[in-house]
Amino acid sequence: SSSDSDGGDKASDNTSASASASADVCKDADGDGPKIGLAYDVGGRGDQSFNDSAYAGVAKAVDELDATCLEGEAQDAEPESAREDRLRQMADAGANAVVGVGFAYSDAINAVAPDYPDVNFGVVDGFDPDDKPNDNVAYFSFAANEASFLVGVAAAEKTASKQVGFVGGVHNDLIKGFEAGFTAGVKAVDPSIKVDVAYIEESDLSGFNDPAGGKTAAAGEFDKGADVVYHASGASGSGIFDAAVEAGDGNWAIGVDSDQYLTATADQQPHILTSALKRVDVATFDFIKSVADGSPKTSYVTYDLKNDGVGYSTSGGFVDDIKADIDGYADKIKSGEIKVPTAP
Amino acid sequence: MPAAPPAPGASSTEAVIEAPEVRLIGIGKRFPGVIANHDVEVTIRPATVHALIGENGAGKSTLMKILYGVQKPDDGTIEVGGTERSFRTPTDAIGVGIGMVFQHFMLADNLTALENAVLGAEKLHGIGDKARAEFESISERYGFGLRPDVLVEKLGVADRQRLEILKVLFRGAKVLILDEPTAVLVPQEVDALFANLRDLRAHGHSILFISHKLDEVLAIADDITVMRRGTTVGSAVPGEVTKQELAEMMVGSELPSPETSESTVTDVVQLSLSGVTLTDDAGRDLLSDISFDIHRGEILGIAGVEGNGQAELVETVMGMRRLTSGRILLGEEDVTDWDTRRLRESGVGYIPEDRHRHGLLLDSPLWENRILGHQTRPPSVKGPWINRSGARKDTRRIVDEYDVRTPGIDTVARALSGGNQQKLIIGREMSGDPVLLIASHPTRGVDVGAQAAIWSHIKRARHDGLAVLLISADLDELIGLSDRIEVILRGRMVGTFDPAGVTPKDLGAAMTGGGEA
Amino acid sequence: MSTTQVDKSAPSERARKIGGMYRTYWLVMLVAVVALSLVRIATGADDITAANTLRAAILSACPILLAGMGGLWSERAGIVNIGLEGQMLLGTWGAAYFTYNYGPWVGLLGAAAMGALGGLLHGLATITFGVDHIVSGVAINIIGLGATTFLAEAFFSDYQYGGPRQLTGLDGLPFVTVPGLSDGLKSLNDQGWFVISDLAGLLAALTTKVSVVTILIAVIVVLTAWILWHTSFGLRLRSCGENPAAAESLGVNVYRYKYVAVLVSGGLAGLGGAFLALVAASGFTTNQSNGRGYIGLAAMIFGNWNPFGTLGASLLFGYTDALRLRSPSAVHALLLVVAIGLLAYAAWRFYQGARTSAIVLGLIGAAFLVWFLTTDTVPREFTGMTPYVVTLLVLALASQRLRPPAADGQVYRKGSAG
Amino acid sequence: MNSLKRVGFALLAPVIAVLIAVLATSVVIAASGSDSSAGDFWSVILSKPDNRLLVNILNQTTMIYLAAVAAAIGFRMGLFNIGVEGQYLLASYTAATFAGAALLPGALNIMATLVIAMAVGAIWAGIAGILRTTRGVSEVISTIMLNSIALILVGYLLDRYGLHGGNQVRTKDLPESSQLAGWLPFERPDGPIWTLGLLAVAVGVGFWVLLNKTRFGFDLRATGLSQTAAVASGIKVDRMVLISMLLSGAVAGLIWMPAYFGSAHTYGTTFQAGLGFTGIAVALLGRNQPVGMVFGAVLFAFLSTQSNTLTFQTDISPSIVQITQGVAVLAVVIAYELVRRYRIRLEQRTVARARTAPVQEVTA
Ligand SMILES: Nc1ncnc2c1ncn2[C@@H]1O[C@H](COP(=O)(O)OP(=O)(O)OP(=O)(O)O)[C@@H](O)[C@H]1O
Ligand SMILES: Nc1ncnc2c1ncn2[C@@H]1O[C@H](COP(=O)(O)OP(=O)(O)OP(=O)(O)O)[C@@H](O)[C@H]1O
Ligand SMILES: [Mg+2]
Ligand SMILES: [Mg+2]
């Protein structure tokens, strides 16, 4: 299949959108398609990560479905009521598809959705916190472990030192899934390869925001002999890329969430082997489309290799030589032959 | 000859001989609501000691700060060496050879003696070996005996005083201003200081000397200027005036003295200390084996050079420090382990040495200050509640009875003058029928009028059977008020004196250890 | 003259005191190295003195040290600056903005200038208007966080590699490696010899890929010590922290020195921010200092308001941070180091005659020993707590020995002399 | 005229401060070169809030006010309890864990949980209190350290003992019987006013009575005004330090309880961090006065709630509000200091007038 090259294309769409972030499609859109409310997590549009990815999905909807949109952005340490209020303001303004980016919106959407039965809500990484099902809410979950598995395969095939590394931002369940998939991928290729694991913070979310910590952790792994390091640490990732640059030629970093080759600096690009993709843009667009089509997605929607919801990127062309192997593993996962663990 | 002007002939002939070193002409200075100085005229001749006297608040310190550039005058001019000057900062004054030793020490404890001396005058000799050499040579020349590298916190009072003077000389000052330099010295130290001053005079320095002690003034001064209520009211020459005459010029009336009337001492012991010892963290004795009794109706005076354990003694008796060994009895009761509040509840009144730090809430109204220290007793409180009206009513009583000059009881304590603050404290501590009064420097920094009033309050209470522990640096006050005087030296009681027969000189000798031999 | 005679004795007294200070400093360092070496050999946790670990420790220590130096400057002049955190944040933004537009050297200056701006605000509030120092510091931290978040969004969103919350790909500053020496020391470090390899590791860390900013910081520490204790400027500045009234009475312009101090303080904190954004990693994110300003303050107190003490404390914090991130498993070996250190200190106190404190220390040391012997790992959370717990312990055990400037934190008003 | 004057003085400083904050905010917006102007900003911020926002503002006010009182108890006696944040964090987690375990039925569970929240907050603050009284460790540094430790500790405990699910960790849900529905002033979607908002009223009144009417309050204030005078008057300062740290921590423990029982029902992503620091700022803004802090809390709640609309209607980041808040705090303390100096001058003038007879000229 061509899921990967496909991913690459979409990812470049995504950056062209974020590069022209100032163009701001929501300001100019005036179509008569669905009206979308996009509630960002902290960081908002321009974060080069999943907020941007969600924005790319919305931009595509504006383009292809004549949609219009409204944006709202979370602040640090905001009260739960602020999140709820953001969603309500969107619904009150007539949005018929409201997307909350990030699991922190789960509770707020659960509280708000019953008051707006005609509005459809979607939460990225979300879940229903209580046992009352909401029939106008879709929860997008991503098989990040599968994407991590594939980049694990890439790492295993590329390592010369038989040692690779993983740096997580925060030692929580979400990131442990990345670690588990990555390790499984590496071991699937060669069980003798050693995987060093480091986390920047244990529970403090500042671990996603600490490039210096990321660099120290990654440099530690490079120093001890790893030559490929995969990160799942949000904005700390730039520190991991810096560490790869400092470690010199032949040392690689692997990006996460979006195709980070495209947003990395010129110095870093030669070291970015691939990225594990989490297609928030696909999920967002699909959701909006389903609303526009009158058959809105509800309940849990899993995005995995099978429906192109996750994948890996090929920008830079560093994995072209091993693409066939990786895709082979991808097929085995799709067919269920390989079951990727979700926790280490 | 009251308010005698100096013999006109004498001063004019001298003026012909030599130009004045410093002339202050028509100086005026106003603070919000206070005229601190007006129409002040002072002329200082070269190589003389010029004394400036006047009661508290007469404006002496203000005038000196103006001469030293700390404050700017509103009116008038300053001439130094015949040239008119205006000083914006002390640096300007230092630049023309004026130096000042302030009423309160101006030393940084955590710096060395040399660093304190060099500070601000680094340009002269640098901060290195040249400065050290200069320091030592000054110390040598005037016999100060100071070492440059000791931390100031290790120096005693007299050494600090000398360091202050050395600081001024280090800057090459020609004119030295000394604001009450003797207030904290014992007579022997005063003599040593005077010897230094005469030395300085012989080297050509002019000295402006402020003191409340008229004996000292008569002993050292070449000229005397008297200030009252912000202005100069006259001048005198030591050989030609008596103490009494000077005093009258200062206050415009007879100088009060703390004479006690007949003894009221009873044979009921009110406070009894036996073997009280207090050691600090490093294991040194601050108080060693102190024992004495105070009877009802008796005033026990404690004499001593500051820093010899008086403060510690007071704080130990007040329960603010835990003694290491010994026993304290209040009446019949063993109060050794009682805390301050319990002691106060059982009738111990306390006039602290530093009223701003220990006696008042400066930013609270007077009626709240009335409650302070009486938080558990009526009329300030009812059970766990504050009794606002009771406290206010009683504050009004104190303001009336003790003549506290204030616009009202809602005025904050900070706005009152020192004397009036002190009267409020005394009124408060006398309320609730105390059995024991601990009075630390009750008239320090208080003018003569208030001083007399405070003395009479203490005497009346003694007459009513109060036992009083009196600590004072003013030996005349001690001798005048006490029924018995104990001398404290390095934390030990070193002698008992009967005030009837003792002179300040004798006490001074005992206070410095000279009396032991 | 007899002065010559006194002259000879006086400097020697002084020299003895200073010499004594440095001797204890070196002694402590030596004991630490020996203890670490012993533990390395006993536990096989080679990472604890590996050259690269120590290099990472130095990198982690630098921002803390700069904040600590900032605290030192202002507190020596009598101003408590808990606004360091906010000033550091302003520095991260300044570094990013100016580096992006004008290159990294201007970026350093810009960071210092932004930090100094925060210092100026603190100075205005505390010096001119006599506001309580803590209150002003708290407000500045709020403003610093809000301002950097707002300004980042306003400026960086449109930059290349930028976003509302970050700006990556900033040009870095050069590194220096001493050729030859670095490699030799590294291979010596790998030998695993007692003490020699450990010292070689330390020297290798100091000669391999050292950022010019790190060198600048070393210069700043030495300069700080020299300026504050060996120049008349420093004497005047310190006098403002010890007794401002006395200083003013001697013609020192107290306000001016306090302003200089607080500006330098903010500037150094700002540089600390620059270190985070330009050297520790090449990118800005919002709230990047993440408490390092406070840790710097703790390092300064721990270091007894002394530049070299602050250096030592910062290195300690940097070391635990680096070890935690690089080799969490080696942290377990540190338990043994702590146990040995505490027991040694207890013995020393016992020898000095301080029985009770010796017993308390000994018990704590024994508890650490037991912890080490009965476990294989330390819960990772606990390693993250290290700087905070260490600070609390040090303060609890040694607060009597610490000596802040006498007028530290007090509001001083001009004209209070006399 | 005197009371009129006093009211005037009391209002002067806050008014100056608010003006400065408005000015500074406008200048920053203008300097940032944003497409929206300062005018746009103020028209959004100052627009009349919807019913829903009114409820939110009120609910936020109660929590912020509790945080402010917690800080003020320390501040009033010169103790800088910077650790309110860590205290309520740990207390909230512990309380939610206990309440979720449902060891007690309904209302009893609520009572016991409140007690536990207060106890945990008090203990965490008490550590700083003990370090200060026995070892002389400055509470500023120790509480900052304890904040960080609490954050790590709660993360550890939650990870270890919490419920994992859907990428989140949370404590067990509060049983329905212990939930407090609150009052609905408007339509249901506009949300309820939380029942335990009453805690803020109770704590506020209690704080006022304690400070102004009781011996203990007098001792507390006296210690804050002058520690040395307090000692001389028989107050045991160490005991006061410890008690007020404990009190401060106990109130801190309550901060998040209105939200917990009113709507969150679990400690997880719904926990609102940062209130401790907001409380410190509000305490300073309100001069640590029970009534002043009400205004401060309303102002902060109002600004942050209204700022949510900014992203919809302007290009201005809501973080600008933090600048407004920080400047307001700094400006208010400066303004109070200036007004205080001015007042003292006025008072001294009055005192001097009431003092002695006019100076009579004396000639030598
Ligand atoms: N900074 C000031 N602001 C307001 N009033 C002041 C100030 N300094 C001094 N005064 C007032 O000016 C008057 C003169 O004070 P000054 O200190 O000069 O008196 P003094 O003669 O030195 O008294 P003492 O013998 O007590 O030292 C007093 O009423 C004093 O309260
Ligand atoms: N530094 C100062 N700043 C402002 N006002 C001052 C200062 N020093 C003194 N005052 C004011 O000057 C007046 C007199 O104060 P001070 O204590 O110096 O008087 P005093 O001469 O000791 O008074 P008393 O005659 O009662 O002994 C008071 O109104 C006081 O508030
Ligand atoms: Mg539901
Ligand atoms: Mg005077």
DSSP D194: P
Name the residue ranges covered by the structural domains of chain D: 1-47+320-364, 55-308
Phi and psi, residue D330, nearest 5°: -65, -45
- pLDDT tens-digit readout, B107-162: 888 899 999 999 888 888 888 888 999 999 888 887 788 888 888 888 877 788 88
Contacts of C261 (CB under 8 A, 6+ apart): C73, C74, C76, C77, C79, C237, C240
CA–CA dist B271, B336 (Å, integer): 11
Alpha carbon of C165: minimum distance to chain A alpha carbons (Å): 6
Q: Does domain D55-308 have CATH number 1.10.3470?
A: yes
**D358 pLDDT tier (thresholds 50, 70, 90):** very low
- Chain B residues with CB-CB distance to C14 below 8 A: 149
Atom in ligand 2 nearest the alpha carbon of residue B57: 21
Q: Average pLDDT in the C233-255 region?
A: 91
Which residues 249-308 of chain C have a CB within 8 Å of chain B? 249-253
Contacts of C21 (CB under 8 A, 6+ apart): none
- Chain D residues with CB-CB distance to C136 below 8 A: 330, 333
Instruction: Kindly list the distances between the CA atom of residue B184 and the CA atoms of B441, B445, B472, C232, D262, in Å, as whole numbers in the listed order.
Output: 12, 13, 11, 32, 67
- Chain D residues with CB-CB distance to B5 below 8 A: 364
CB-CB under 8 Å, D33 with C154: yes
Least confident window among A288-292, C121-125, C211-215, D348-352: D348-352
The neighbour count for residue C377, using CB atoms within 10 Å, is 11
Instruction: Kindly list the distances between the CA atom of residue B273 and the CA atoms of B234, B349, B492, C222, in Å, as whole numbers in the listed order.
Output: 50, 17, 13, 56
Say what the pLDDT of residue D300 is. Answer: 92
Chains with ≥3 CB–CB distances under 8 Å to A? C, D
DSSP B273: E
Q: CA-CA-CA-CA torsion for C55, C61, C62, C65, nearest 10 degrees?
A: -150
Which of B30, B52, B56, B62 has most ligand 1 atoms within 8 Å of CB, for mutation? B62
- pLDDT tens-digit readout, D265-282: 999 888 999 999 999 989
Among the bound ligands, name the one nearest to the CA of residue D166.
3
Alpha carbon of C290: minimum distance to chain A alpha carbons (Å): 7
Beta strands B325-330 and B269-279, pairing class:
antiparallel
Instruction: Kindly list the distances between the CA atom of residue A315 and the CA atoms of A250, A261, B235, C106, C292, in Å, as whole numbers in the listed order.
Output: 17, 6, 99, 34, 37
Query: Which H or E element spans position A228?
Result: strand A228-232
Which residues 18-57 of chain B have a CB within 8 Å of chain D? 31-35, 38
Nearest alpha carbon to residue A55 among A67, A43, A71 = A71
Alpha carbon of B5: minimum distance to chain D alpha carbons (Å): 6
**C237 pLDDT tier (thresholds 50, 70, 90):** very high
Domain assignment present for residue C418? The answer is no
Cα angle value B288/B290/B294 (rounded, 5°): 165
Q: Is the pLDDT of residue B4 over 50?
A: no
Say what the pLDDT of residue A16 is. Answer: 38
CA–CA dist D5, A95 (Å, integer): 54
Q: Which two tokens stand for residue A45?
A: 């549009």
- Comparing alpha-carbon positions, the chain C residue that sits nearest to A43 is C165
Classify residue C193 by burial, with Cβ atoms within 10 Å: 0-12, 13-18, 19+. Answer: middle
Say what the pLDDT of residue D353 is. Answer: 64
Minimum-distance CB partner of D156 among A73, A106, A203: A203
CB-CB under 8 Å, A79 with D259: yes
Domains of chain B: residue spans and CATH: 8-249 (3.40.50.300), 264-346+465-517 (3.40.50.300), 348-432 (3.40.50.300)
What is the extent of the structural domain holding C170?
A: 46-401
Domain assignment present for residue C11? The answer is no
Bond from prior residue into C174 cis (ω within 30 degrees of 0): no
Contacts of B288 (CB under 8 A, 6+ apart): B277, B491, B492
- Chain D residues with CB-CB distance to A82 below 8 A: 56, 304-305, 308
| Protein residues whose CB sits closer than 6 Å to any atom of ligand 1 | B 31, 34, 36, 54, 56-62, 103, 417, 445
**C320 pLDDT tier (thresholds 50, 70, 90):** confident
Q: Is the pLDDT of residue C271 over 60?
A: yes
CA–CA dist D227, D239 (Å, integer): 12
Beta strands in C266-361 (DSSP E): 283-285
Q: Is the pLDDT of residue B311 over 70?
A: yes
Nearest alpha carbon to residue C33 among C193, C158, C245 = C193
Among the bound ligands, name the one nearest to the CA of residue B229.
1
- pLDDT tens-digit readout, B63-91: 988 998 888 888 889 988 888 888 888 88
**B282 pLDDT tier (thresholds 50, 70, 90):** low
Cβ pair A99, A120 in contact under 8 A: no
Atom in ligand 2 nearest the alpha carbon of residue B32: 5
CA–CA dist C365, C392 (Å, integer): 16
For residue B68, how far is its CA from the centre of ligand 4 (angstroms)? 14
Q: Is the pLDDT of residue B281 over 60?
A: yes
Cβ pair B100, B64 in contact under 8 A: yes
- pLDDT tens-digit readout, B30-68: 876 567 888 899 999 988 999 998 776 678 888 988 998
The neighbour count for residue B192, using CB atoms within 10 Å, is 17
CATH number, domain with residue C198: 1.10.3470
CA–CA dist C417, B90 (Å, integer): 10
Instruction: Kindly list the distances between the CA atom of residue B150 and the CA atoms of B112, B147, D254, in Å, as whole numbers in the listed order.
Output: 5, 6, 54
Phi and psi, residue C247, nearest 5°: -60, -45
Strand partners, B210: B52, B179
Say what the pLDDT of residue C19 is. Answer: 56
Cβ pair B80, B98 in contact under 8 A: yes
CB-CB under 8 Å, A242 with C165: no
Tens digits of pLDDT across chain A (344 residues): 333 333 333 333 333 333 334 457 888 878 888 999 999 988 778 777 788 889 999 999 999 999 999 988 888 888 999 999 999 999 999 999 999 998 889 999 999 999 999 999 999 988 888 888 899 999 999 999 999 999 999 999 999 999 999 999 998 888 999 999 999 999 999 999 999 999 998 888 888 888 899 999 999 999 989 999 999 998 889 899 999 999 999 999 999 988 999 988 898 999 999 999 999 999 999 999 999 999 999 889 999 999 889 999 999 999 999 999 999 999 999 999 999 999 88
Q: Which two tokens stand for residue B144?
A: 């100060």
Q: Which two tokens stand for residue B396?
A: 């009004």
Between B477 and C122, whose confidence is greater?
C122
pTM of the full structure: 0.87
Highest mean pLDDT among B201-215, B291-305, C87-101: C87-101
Domain count, chain C: 1
| Protein residues whose CB sits closer than 6 Å to any atom of ligand 2 | B 34, 56-57, 415, 417-420, 445-447, 450; D 348, 351-352
Instruction: Kindly list the distances between the CA atom of residue A237 and the CA atoms of A257, A279, B3, C104, in Å, as whole numbers in the listed order.
Output: 11, 18, 89, 21
Between B285 and D351, whose confidence is greater?
B285
CA–CA dist D196, D271 (Å, integer): 16
Radius of gyration for chain B, computed over Cα atoms and rounded to the nearest angstrom: 24
Domain assignment present for residue C51? The answer is yes
Say what the pLDDT of residue A10 is. Answer: 36
CB-CB under 8 Å, A198 with C164: no
- Chain D residues with CB-CB distance to A128 below 8 A: 166
Least confident window among B115-124, B364-373, C394-403, D123-132: C394-403
**D222 pLDDT tier (thresholds 50, 70, 90):** very high
- Chain D residues with CB-CB distance to C385 below 8 A: 148-149, 152-153
Cβ pair B168, B176 in contact under 8 A: yes
- pLDDT tens-digit readout, B381-410: 888 898 888 899 989 999 888 888 777 888
CB-CB under 8 Å, C242 with B120: no
Cβ pair B439, B407 in contact under 8 A: no
For residue D179, how far is its CA from the centre of ligand 1 (angstroms)? 66
Alpha carbon of D104: minimum distance to chain A alpha carbons (Å): 22
- Interface membership of D218 toward B (CB under 8 Å): yes
**D363 pLDDT tier (thresholds 50, 70, 90):** very low
CA–CA dist B45, B128 (Å, integer): 36
Cβ pair A69, A94 in contact under 8 A: no
CA–CA dist A144, A124 (Å, integer): 13
Between D187 and A315, whose confidence is greater?
A315
Alpha carbon of B103: minimum distance to chain C alpha carbons (Å): 7
For residue C410, how far is its CA from the centre of ligand 2 (angstroms)? 22
Say what the pLDDT of residue A76 is. Answer: 81
Q: Average pLDDT in the D43-47 region?
A: 88
Alpha carbon of B28: minimum distance to chain D alpha carbons (Å): 14
Say what the pLDDT of residue A177 is. Answer: 92
CA–CA dist A30, A67 (Å, integer): 7
CB neighbour burial string for C323-340, b if at least 16 within 10 angstroms, e if fewer: bbbbbbebbbbbbbbbbb
Minimum-distance CB partner of A212 among C153, C280, C326: C280
Residue length of chain B: 517
Q: What percent of chain B has pLDDT over 90?
A: 11
CA–CA dist C18, C230 (Å, integer): 12
- Chain B residues with CB-CB distance to C244 below 8 A: none
CB-CB under 8 Å, B32 with D345: yes
- pLDDT tens-digit readout, C201-210: 888 888 888 8
The terminus-to-terminus CA distance of chain A in angstroms comes to 29
Say what the pLDDT of residue B6 is. Answer: 42
Chains with ≥3 CB–CB distances under 8 Å to C? A, B, D
Atom in ligand 2 nearest the alpha carbon of residue D352: 29
Domain assignment present for residue C1? The answer is no
Say what the pLDDT of residue C12 is. Answer: 47
DSSP line for C126-183: IIIS---HHHHHHHHHHHHHHHHHHHHHHHHTTSTTB-SSEEE------EE--TTHHH
Instruction: Kindly list the distances between the CA atom of residue B478 and the CA atoms of A254, B182, B302, B434, B486, in Å, as whole numbers in the listed order.
Output: 87, 17, 8, 21, 10
| Residue nearest atom 30 of ligand 2, based on CA coordinates | B417
Which of B417, B423, B446 has most ligand 2 atoms within 8 Å of CB, for mutation? B417
Between C144 and D138, whose confidence is greater?
C144
Say what the pLDDT of residue A270 is. Answer: 95
Among the bound ligands, name the one nearest to the CA of residue A133.
3
CB-CB under 8 Å, C245 with B122: no
- Chain A residues with CB-CB distance to C164 below 8 A: 43-47
CA–CA dist C416, C409 (Å, integer): 16
Say what the pLDDT of residue B14 is. Answer: 43
Classify residue C389 by burial, with Cβ atoms within 10 Å: 0-12, 13-18, 19+. Answer: middle
Atom in ligand 2 nearest the alpha carbon of residue B422: 26
Cβ pair B436, B469 in contact under 8 A: yes
Mean pLDDT of chain D: 88
Say what the pLDDT of residue C218 is. Answer: 95
CA–CA dist D299, D64 (Å, integer): 10
